[in-house]
C-alpha cells in the first residue's frame, strides 16, 4: 500500500502545483501568458545599436528554483522592421552564455500563425561576445533591461521571442542553479511556451482558450 499511497500523494501535489498556474491577459499589450503566481509589473528602457530608446514592459515572478519574465518592447513606429529587430535581439541573447539549441517557434494555428525563435542556453558571465559592437557589459546591461536582473552562471535560460504588430516579445524562463535538478525543471519551459496573442480586433483564437 505504501507505494500506491506515495504515488497518489505525488500526483495530488503535482496536480495542485499545476492548478496554481493561470493566465494573465494583457490585452493592452496584445498577449497572454501563464504564471504560477501573481506577477509584479515594472517598466524600463530598451536600448540597442538599432534601437536608441524604447519603452519596456516587464511582468515577473521569482521562485526558489526559477524566474519567469514576460517582456514587451514598444516599437510601434517600426512595424515594418520586425525581422531585423527580432534578429538583433536573438543575436544579443546568444551572447549570454553557451547556446544549446535554437529553433523556430510558432503561436496560433493556420493563417493566424505568428513565428518566432526559441533559444536555450546555459548562462556564463565569462562568455566573450563576438557580436559586432557588443561587449560583456553591454550584453549584461541589455539583459537587465529586459528582465530586471541577471542570468546567474550555470542557470538555464529559455527565451521564446516574437515580433508582432510593432512589439517585441521575449518570454523568458530561467532555471536557477539552486538545486540539483534545477536545469531539468519543466517550469521554465512551460512558462516560455505559455504565450498566446490577441488578434488585431482584440479577440482570442478559440484554441487558446482551451489549453
Give the pLDDT confidence of 55-104 residue by residue, as tens digits: 999 999 999 999 999 999 999 999 999 999 999 999 999 999 999 999 99
Write b or e for each residue in 68-89: b if 16 or more Cβ atoms lie within 10 A of its Cβ, otherwise e. bbbbbbbbeebeebbeebbebb
Q: What is the pLDDT of residue 111?
A: 87
Measured CA to CA, the distance from residue 117 to residue 205 in angstroms comes to 21
Q: How confident is the model at residue 19, as a pLDDT?
A: 57
Spatial distance between the Cα atoms of 118 and 94, rounded to a whole number of angstroms? 11
Low-confidence ranges of the chain (pLDDT < 70): 1-19, 132, 179-184, 206-211
pTM for the model: 0.87
* Euclidean distance between CA atoms 85 and 75, whole angstroms: 9
Give the residue extent of every domain in the chain.
22-210
* pLDDT at position 130: 83
- Give the pLDDT of residue 77: 96
- Does the structural domain 22-210 have CATH classification 3.30.1360.70? no
pLDDT in the model for residue 134: 83
Amino acid at each position: 500500500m505504501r507505494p500506491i499511497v506515495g504515488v497518489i500523494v505525488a500526483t495530488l501535489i503535482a496536480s495542485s502545483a499545476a492548478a496554481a498556474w493561470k493566465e494573465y491577459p494583457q490585452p493592452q499589450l496584445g498577449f497572454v501568458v501563464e504564471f504560477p503566481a501573481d506577477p509584479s509589473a515594472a517598466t524600463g528602457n530598451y536600448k540597442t545599436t538599432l534601437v536608441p530608446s524604447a519603452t519596456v514592459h516587464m511582468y515577473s515572478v521569482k521562485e526558489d528554483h526559477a524566474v519567469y519574465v514576460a517582456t514587451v518592447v514598444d516599437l510601434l513606429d517600426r512595424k515594418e522592421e520586425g525581422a531585423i529587430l527580432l534578429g538583433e535581439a536573438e543575436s544579443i541573447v546568444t551572447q549570454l552564455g553557451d547556446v544549446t539549441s535554437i529553433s523556430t517557434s510558432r503561436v496560433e494555428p493556420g493563417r493566424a500563425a505568428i513565428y518566432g525563435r526559441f533559444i536555450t542556453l546555459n548562462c556564463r558571465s565569462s562568455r566573450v561576445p563576438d557580436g559586432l559592437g557588443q561587449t560583456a557589459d553591454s550584453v549584461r546591461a541589455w539583459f537587465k533591461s529586459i528582465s530586471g536582473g541577471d542570468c546567474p552562471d550555470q542557470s538555464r535560460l529559455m527565451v521564446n521571442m516574437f515580433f508582432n504588430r510593432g512589439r517585441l516579445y521575449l518570454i523568458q524562463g530561467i532555471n536557477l542553479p539552486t538545486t540539483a535538478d534545477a536545469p531539468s525543471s519543466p517550469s521554465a519551459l512551460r512558462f516560455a511556451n505559455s504565450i498566446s496573442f490577441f488578434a488585431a480586433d482584440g479577440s482570442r483564437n478559440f484554441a487558446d482558450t482551451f489549453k
